[in-house]
Chains A and B, each alone.
Chain A
Amino acid sequence: MITQPNHVPERLGLLVTSAVDPFLTEELLKGEQVHGGIDLAKVVEPLPEDDARWWVEPIRSLVEDAMFEFREDRTLADAWLAPRLHATLRLTRREAADKRLWNHLALAVAPDYVVWRHLSESTANRPERRVAAERFRGPADRQCFSRLWWAAELFRNGSDYEPVELACGNQDLIHTVLRSELIDHRPTAQALVRLLKSGQVSGGREVNGLSVAINAAGATLIYDVLAPDRPRDPTRLRDWIAEAESAPPVQRYELPDGPDEDPVPEESVAALAGYFAELFETAPVRGRKSGD
């Protein structure tokens, strides 16, 4: 297993995807050897220097804590790291949609974490252990760090990260639902987590079956009417981002607080959770007999 590169930059930057390949070597994907960091620094575009959010140290220390704390079961690290990464790296969605930032984080700042978290287990079919390249540079719902940040952004309920912890504790949920547009509607995302929390839905097949059913019903139903969300006030997020300058490191044992935005209206979550539960009873789920 590799360690961090010899040269880790002090500040986050932007790394274009076309410049990534020379550093994404076979040795790195096998978790055997990492680049030195010096050559990579030459192709990085810097971010504004007067912004405290781009300091690397708080993120570096988070991933090191995660690797230590979850050394016995690395998949559990997702639920711990997602809210804390989100509260440390305070971004607007516009900034978070820039893949260059995530490329830099994965390749230059914490390639050791990517390998630690995503190196495949050796199996009979594929004895060679390997990290999929998309964990370094890939779609937002696959890349090692952006998937966690977006899971936190889409599942938080205002400032409350508890639903994020629940959602990220279910690998199937973040693996299949994160890529679908249905959770862009906040009440839908909260209703899904509520079914998970109450135990009405669990396991990969059930989550898949439910998300297929929600999508199918969504072709004729407009969930925004069934479960309205309230308008957002963009200044709340701006204020939270501005506070990054003076914010202490995120708590390791307690959940941090997110931006002070209004939670989803409770009536809307309750209405949709009830509706989804009904849908789920009749949804075809692989491996479940009808009438179970």
Chain B
Amino acid sequence: MKFYPYKRLNRPVTLRVTSVSLKLSDGTRDQLETTAYSTQQQAVALGIAGHTDWVSATVGLSVTLPPGANAPDAAWSDLCVLAVLTDGETNVRTSANLTLDVEGGRDWSGSLEVFRDDHLGRASLAVYAVGTVDGVRGRSIAETDRNWVIDAVSDEPVHGLRLNVQKASFRKSAREWLQVYADAPWVVDTSARVPTVFVNTDVEGIIDLLDSSGSGVDSKVRDLLVAQMATDVWTAVFHGAIGDLEVDPAGGPVFPTDWQGEVLREMLPDVIPGVHVEEALRQVHRRRTGDSGWTELQTRIHYAAVRRADASKALAFVIRGLEQMNRESET
């Protein structure tokens, strides 16, 4: 619980994306389908129409402030609403002022320009209601509780970070560094721009298995295999991120600004439950750099990775599938 030394609204601002259009390099515009964004996922996928030559995207926004924002006896004045897009990879911060729809109402709308040259992958969109409180300008009185993700390349609006799966013959790959792993079915690379699994096509049948679809046991085994890879990835990502933590001038660890920070924020509640993620990060950092407690934490890190990879669900489906198969062969 944060403490604020002034009056605020205690409910969050709600944000919806209402339209997305791309400006292409030949000057034309492409209005994207509504499948480019998802309110449930709180994500926008700018790569959905397959354009690689777009210059900028205009994202239409509609915002509703919590009740009380426009109360006549409110503790604030000069109310304004600001959409802020930030990107930890490119250090971009873009803000747009929204306008009030109807005098006396709580709905605001406007649009945000997103430049292609400014983003490599995922940027984060938040909305702030700002006013003058007790004579202090620029006070944030309410904000969105969960940021939207604006993904410059993705073709599907999903909030969580997806693994990048690449197939390669390790023995013959142009990526020479893969050759030393020729006898492994897959390896994990967490130093790439997004966490990547390289699947070794030299392992006979592995691609058929991974590409299998339908309802047979094959596809359930595939899901289990993917869950196993994902568990490996999230464990590796967690260790990588914790190992590279930056420390602020006061000596406390700082969340990485890229996707590693995103993953840490998602996994930490399972690693150190019951505390704020900032505190969880401090505890984990202390355990790793201090005298004791790092070994004991491994089980929890593994647990968090298993949860994030949905491994239990995949295993349950495989077991059910095998049971069914056995039953059918008996009858």
**Interface residue ranges, A against B (CB under 8 Å):** 16-19, 21-22, 42-43, 92-94, 96-99, 139, 150, 153-154, 176, 179-181, 183-185, 208-209, 211-212, 219-226, 229, 231-232, 234, 237-238
**Assuming the A-B contacts A181-B257, A212-B250, are A97 and B95 also in contact, with contact meaning beta carbons closer than 8 angstroms in the complex?**
no
**A222-B140, A234-B55 known; A211 and B249 CB under 8 Å?**
yes
Whether B91 contacts A184 by the Cβ 8 Å rule is yes
* A146–chain B nearest beta-carbon distance, Å: 11
Chain B: minimal CB distance from A286 (Å) = 9
In the docked arrangement, what's the CA distance between A203 and B89, Å? 28
Residues on B with beta carbons closer than 8 Å to the beta carbon of A185: 93
Q: Tell me, rounded to whole Å, the shortest Cβ–Cβ distance linking A244 to chain B.
A: 15
B233-257 interface code vs A (CB 8 A; 1 in, 0 out)? 0000000000010101110001001
CB <8 Å contact, A225 and B138? yes
CB distance from B178 to the nearest CB of A (A): 9
Measured in the bound complex, the distance between the Cα atoms of B189 and A222 in whole Å is 38
- A181 and B175 CA atoms in complex are apart in Å by 34
What's the interface size class on B, roughly? 35 or more
Q: Is residue B90 within 8 Å, beta carbon to beta carbon, of the partner chain?
A: yes
- Residues from chain A with Cβ under 8 Å of B118 in the complex: 92-94, 234
Q: Is the CB of B193 within 8 A of A225?
A: no
B294 contacts partner chain A, Cβ-Cβ < 8 Å: no
Q: Would you call A94 and B84 a contact (CB within 8 A)?
A: no
Interface residues of B (CB under 8 A from A): 2, 4-6, 55-56, 80, 82, 84, 86, 88-93, 95, 113, 115-120, 128, 130, 136-140, 175-177, 189, 191-193, 244, 246, 248-250, 254, 257
Chain B residues closer than 8 Å to A176, beta-carbon distance:
248-249
With A43-B176, A92-B117, A181-B91 known, 12 other A-B pairs at CB within 8 A are: A16-B175, A16-B191, A17-B191, A19-B175, A19-B177, A92-B118, A93-B90, A98-B193, A179-B254, A183-B91, A219-B2, A229-B95
A-B contact pairs, 6 of them (CB 8 A): A18-B191, A154-B91, A176-B249, A209-B249, A220-B6, A237-B117
Contact A220–B140 (Cβ < 8 Å): yes
Residues of A within 8 A of B2 (CB): 219
Q: Which A residue's beta carbon lies closest to that of B198?
A: A18
Q: Is the CB of A225 within 8 A of B92?
A: no
> With A93-B90, A212-B248 given, is the CB distance from A225 to B80 under 8 Å?
yes
